Chains A and B, each alone.
Chain A
Amino acid sequence: MATNTQIPVADRRVPVIAPGHTFSTIGEKISNIVLSRPVSLGWIFSFLIVFSIMNMLMVALGYLFIKGTGIWGINIPIGWGFAIVNFVWWIGIGHAGTLISAILCLLRQTWRNSINRFAEAMTLFAVACAGTFPLAHMGRPWLAYWMFPYPNTMRYWPNFRSPLVWDVFAVSTYFTISLVFWFVGLIPDFATMRDRAESTWVQRIYGLLAMGWRGSARHWHRYETAYLLLAGLATPLVLSVHTVVSFDFAVGIVPGWHTTIFPPYFVAGAIYSGFAMVLCLAIPIRAIYGLKDFITERHLENAAKVMLATGLIVAYGYGMEAFMGWYSGSQFDSFLLWNRLHGPYRLSYMALLACNILIPQVLWLKKFRVSTGWLWFISFVVLVGMWLERFIIVVVSLSRDFLTSSWGQYYPTKWDWMTFAGTIGMFLTAMWLFVRILPMISIFELRTLLPESQVHEPAEVKQ
């Protein structure tokens, strides 16, 4: 063996925080983005663009509420259309945030500390976008509260055997817990913002949000316990959410839906698209706001590796679907595969294979994992690919079921596209506001990564 293999692996890696930072420079750098950095013309201009896209959503939804779901391309048999495609896609994107904040916290992956805040915000906004779709798809969204069990004059109760009711509980719990987790993580940083703020009003607002946090050792002790328990609760939760979403399909008997592989394959796909979104947002933000010291090459590379791994799980899922099409001997299952490859939607299936399986394989090479341009491009491709996957699952399966008499075709209308694009605008609007209003990197968690934060117990009290 060559002598240069003696270098320990840890030393060769890019650090999680660039050298030379202290407790105070971390706080200064992150909080100044909110407190003292002037609002640039670029921000205002791009905000106006994303805000107008969000307003397109408002128009599309407004017209939907007047006219009803007939303005969409949905029909019988394809009753689910874009609304459910986009719902599943957005929910999936949210999963990376919880994975980063909860699962990587339990696994003590300290590199998560610089991206968890931002990824959790992404989760919240993505789940909000996701929730818009089933609500709009109900046709009479003002009666949405009927899905919750509450005593009513109709003497009616929800059917708890239905996956759609499970979905209500899974998604609303997911949103609530993500919000709580995010807010709890923000409390100590609100205190830092309060103490750093120059103007009285800013100080009051952050002070109100910090709720009088003073960093007492007793408080930190309970805080850390609560945070760890929240992470422990959010971990099975995030795995359950996409599992429950996949039950919406797997419990049905439509060919292409009725498979046991759906839960793990959905969860892997969710994390796949979620990390792609994290990279799509993190790469420009770290460049624009000068955060390359905290979101280093190491973070990008790790995220790329997670993407590669989950992408392979997704590829395995496709492989198994194809295998079962042949192995089951069921003519409907083998027709499903034939239809995907040769049917009217074959182009979207080919694009799906290219986006989700073929192109991301370049991430095996370090060159692509560390090049921000390539990484951004691959992440974008994965986002498109995962959207196509949901389209294939929802639309292609519904368009060809058991009886030829119930076959159909689905064409999205402009209102479908406007609603979809509009939620992207809503997501980006929320993201744009988030980076200007809240510390986008967890200040206190980043501080614990500095060697100065570690203490050694004095020898005389160690017994």
Chain B
Amino acid sequence: MSVKDASIYGLMAEFDSAQELVDAAHKTHEAGYQKIDAYSPFPIEGLAEAIGFHKNSVPLVVLIGGLIGGISAYALQYWVAVITYPVNIGGRPFHSWPSFIIVTFELTILFGGLSAAVGMLILNGLPMPYHPVFNVPEFAKASEDKFFLVVFSSDPNYDAARTRAFLTGLAPRMIAEVPS
């Protein structure tokens, strides 16, 4: 049985380049570690796949948001123009749908765009005022020019000594324990 320590969030390895981080992430994931994360100053193509992250529900959230915006905008205009406040202007039909397209379109965009931003933040768990990775002083460089890989202690395969030995094999610049 591996030894678990609740005061440890995980083990962090620091790399010099994006390429090293992606390679290390691939190897770590292949070695059977599931609960890992990688950190970089800019988006790296293929890094999310390398740590085994495939499920991205942002497009679905945006689709639902956009549909809600569009449908509710059209429904509101229909209700106002036909049911609750019908105004006869030159004998034109109350349900003059071509005039309703523009507001429908604008609200589709508005709701879709807001759900993209808010959905992305909520799915990412942001705002998050405290996160253990910031306890490692070197992590300040994660928004600058360094690249980090963390194996969480909650991973079933995590073992303080073995995981450290594994990460050392990836030739990082340094390895640090992340206090939780």
Contact = CB atoms under 8 A, between A and B. Distances in A.
Contacts of B71: none
A253 interface: no
B136 to A, nearest CB: 11
Interface stretch (A20-28, A55-63, A336-344): A20-28
A226 B126 contact: no
Given A177-B113, A220-B47, A211 B121 contact: yes
Contacts of B76: 149
Given A223-B124, A453-B18, A229 B43 contact: no
11 contacts: A180-B116, A188-B143, A220-B48, A221-B48, A223-B124, A226-B62, A229-B59, A236-B105, A445-B42, A453-B42, A455-B18
A222 B144 contact: no
Interface string B50-68: 1101001011001000100
Contact of B109 (A192, A236, A247): A236
Given A161-B92, A216-B124, 7 more contacts: A23-B42, A157-B84, A160-B80, A184-B117, A225-B58, A230-B116, A458-B22
Interface in A179-228: 180-181, 183-184, 188, 191-192, 194-196, 211-226
B166 interface: no
Contacts of B51: 217-218
A448 B42 CA distance: 7
A260 to B, nearest CB: 14
Contacts of B84: 157
A212 B127 CA distance: 6
Contact of B41 (A222, A225, A233, A444): A444
Contacts of A27: 41, 143-145
Interface in A82-109: none
A20 to B, nearest CB: 15
Most chain A beta-carbon contacts within 10 A, residue among B18, B30, B130: B18
Contacts of B18: 452-455
A195 B120 contact: no
B131 A192 contact: no
A236 B108 CA distance: 11
Contact of B144 (A23, A221, A229): A23
Interface in B99-150: 99-100, 102-103, 105-107, 109-110, 112-114, 116-117, 119-121, 123-124, 126-131, 133-134, 139-145
Interface string B153-165: 0000000000000
| 5 cross-chain pairs, A with B, having the tightest CB-CB distances, nearest first | A211-B127, A226-B120, A212-B128, A23-B145, A221-B48
Contacts of A124: none
Contact of A158 (B38, B46, B80): B80
Interface in B7-41: 17-19, 22-23, 25-26, 30, 37-41
A176 interface: yes
A458 B99 CA distance: 55
Most buried by B among A183, A194, A226, A445: A226
Interface string A108-151: 00000000000000000000000000000000000000000100
A169 B102 CA distance: 9
Contacts of A192: 41, 143-144
B116 A149 contact: no
A247 B37 CA distance: 51
A216 B37 contact: yes
Contacts of B180: none
Nearest to A166: B102
A11 interface: no
B143 A160 contact: no
A244 B44 CA distance: 39
B120 A194 contact: no
A170 B108 CA distance: 11
Contacts of A331: none
A37 interface: no
B106 A23 contact: no
A240 B106 contact: yes
Contacts of A194: 143
Contacts of B77: 160
A211 B59 CA distance: 22
B144 A157 contact: no
Contacts of A217: 25, 37-40, 44, 47-48, 50-51, 53
Contact of A455 (B37, B44, B85, B141): B44
Interface string A226-248: 10011001101100100010010
Contact of A22 (B85, B126, B145): B145
A406 interface: no
B140 to A, nearest CB: 4
A219 B109 contact: no
B87 interface: yes
Contacts of A218: 37, 48, 51, 53, 124
A161 B89 contact: yes
A233 B126 contact: no
A90 to B, nearest CB: 19
B170 interface: no
B44 A173 contact: no
Contacts of B30: 461
Contacts of B110: 173, 176-177
B168 interface: no
B85 A156 contact: yes
A455 B99 contact: no
Given A23-B144, A160-B100, A229-B59, A215 B40 contact: yes
A160 B103 contact: yes
A165 interface: yes
